[in-house]
Amino acid sequence: MNDFKLKLVLSILGGMVFSLIFILLAFALPLQKQEVIILPQTVLEKVSHAARR
């Protein structure tokens, strides 16, 4: 196999491997963020939280 064909085959295989990795990551990662509600602990945080509303 000459150099050009070898480079072509290797670049196609490399592209397929990288695309497969990104496809697997798309399925593995969650789609929605889970919202975490942090309740105010100190008096200053409670006042700040009340003032924002």
For residue range 10-39, what is the model confidence (pLDDT) as tens digits?
999 999 999 999 998 888 877 777 777 777
Domain boundaries, the chain: 3-52
Which one has a higher pLDDT value, 8 or 38? 8
- Cα 35–Cα 39–Cα 40 angle in degrees, nearest 5: 140
pLDDT tens digit string along 38-47?
A: 776 788 787 8
Q: Tell me, what's the pLDDT at 53?
A: 67
Query: Residue 49: pLDDT band by 50, 70, 90 thresholds?
Result: confident
Q: Tell me, what's the pLDDT at 3?
A: 92
